């Protein structure tokens, strides 16, 4: 039996569909409420439009994961759409931080001013010397220190944008490979496209998140009014851990280590990933942090 024929005849267990469906309704209700709250108090559009873009990641992930769970035959298409929006959400998050600093021009001016100040007096809490940002181990053996100013901002900006571009290109390539039956989502075989794209996306995503970490390190004091640490850790956990969660599930299946009744009931590794995404608490954390730490400040 071909895998496509099997997928067309497969349906998830009723308990998984009911649990995922109930949590989907709760997630959509909370996220839509939060978006309407922002729209009804749309006083800082430069910040809120990017924040809304990040919030929309919640219903986007939830809906696509639920649809993929119910109909595994389109799981590849759903995961591609989900991944594409993930890269856009990362861009929105970076742009949101820049907007909170007053826009690109003010951010670059802040970086240059910071660089001039650090060349005279080392900044408290930053590993800066002569207007540069040093890299932690082991990156310090690969990269030279980044000069604070427009150069630093452009490096961070490109680091985030490259992930969007690579994510889009790999998504299009995945569609083509899937049409020829050689994508093999979740399978680590030499003749499949999935493992190669997993490696490329891992490096691209890691670099984008590293750039965000460096940007946060430099601007955390300036962004203290929006409590960026909670937002940053929550967003990073969603993007990074969700991706590695899918890779880990695929590896566990490939090694034959997944033998729990839960996995046997769902049968497909893509269904396990979709079900976990539907019930994860990180969505509630994202909504909680975004609402409690952003909306009151924007409305004041």
Q: Which of 159, 164, 196 is nearest to 177 (CA)?
A: 196
Q: In 3-state terms, what secondary structure has residue 300?
A: coil
Q: How far is CA 169 from the centre of its chain?
A: 17
Could you read off the pLDDT tens digit of each residue along the chain, which spans 300 residues?
A: 344 444 445 567 788 888 888 888 888 888 888 888 888 888 888 888 888 888 888 888 888 888 888 887 777 778 778 778 888 888 888 888 899 888 899 998 888 887 776 554 444 344 445 577 888 888 888 888 888 888 899 999 999 899 889 988 988 898 888 888 888 876 778 888 888 988 898 899 889 888 988 898 888 888 887 777 777 777 776 766 676 777 777 777 766 666 555 555 455 556 777 777 777 755 655 555 555 545 555 555
Q: In 3-state terms, what secondary structure has residue 181?
A: coil
Beta carbons of 100 and 47 less than 8 angstroms apart = yes
**Euclidean distance between CA atoms 9 and 277, whole angstroms:** 23
Query: What structural domains and CATH numbers belong to the chain?
Result: 3-299 (1.20.1070)
- Is this prediction's pTM over 0.85? no
Q: How far is CA 154 from CA 104, 118, 172, 275, in A?
A: 10, 19, 27, 38
Sequence-distant (6+) residues with CB within 8 A of 116 are 131
Q: How far is CA 10 from the centre of its chain?
A: 30
**Euclidean distance between CA atoms 291 and 300, whole angstroms:** 13
Q: Which of 109, 62, 86, 76 is nearest to 193 (CA)?
A: 76
Beta carbons of 128 and 118 less than 8 angstroms apart = yes
Ramachandran category for residue 126: left, alpha or beta (phi over 0 → left; psi -120 to 50 → alpha): beta
């Amino acid at each position: 039996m071909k895998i496509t024929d099997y997928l067309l005849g497969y349906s998830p267990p009723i308990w998984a569909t009911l649990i995922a469906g109930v949590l989907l309704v709760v997630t959509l209700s909370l996220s839509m409420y939060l978006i309407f709250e922002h729209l009804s108090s749309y006083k800082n559009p430069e910040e809120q439009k990017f924040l809304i873009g990040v919030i929309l990641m919640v219903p986007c992930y939830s809906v696509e994961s639920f649809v993929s769970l119910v109909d595994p035959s389109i799981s590849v298409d759903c995961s591609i759409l989900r991944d594409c929006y993930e890269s856009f959400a990362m861009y929105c998050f970076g742009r949101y931080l820049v907007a909170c600093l007053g826009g690109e021009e003010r951010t670059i001016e802040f970086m240059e001013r910071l660089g001039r100040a650090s060349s005279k007096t080392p900044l408290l809490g930053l590993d800066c010397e002569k207007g540069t940002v040093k890299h932690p181990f082991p990156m310090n053996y690969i990269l030279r220190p980044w000069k604070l100013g427009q150069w630093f901002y452009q490096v961070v900006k490109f680091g985030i944008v490259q992930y969007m571009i690579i994510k889009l290109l790999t998504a299009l390539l995945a569609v083509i490979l899937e049409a020829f039956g050689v994508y093999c989502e979740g399978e680590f075989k030499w003749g499949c496209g999935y493992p190669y794209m997993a490696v490329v996306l891992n490096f691209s995503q890691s670099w984008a998140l590293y750039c965000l970490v460096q940007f946060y390190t430099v601007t955390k004091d300036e962004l203290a009014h929006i409590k960026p640490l909670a937002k940053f850790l929550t967003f990073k956990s969603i993007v990074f851990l969700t991706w590695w969660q899918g890779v880990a599930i695929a590896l566990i299946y490939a090694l034959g280590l997944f033998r729990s009744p839960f996995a046997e009931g769902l049968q497909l590794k893509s269904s396990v990933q979709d079900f976990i995404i539907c019930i994860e608490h990180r969505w509630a954390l994202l909504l909680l942090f975004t609402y409690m730490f952003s909306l009151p400040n924007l409305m004041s």
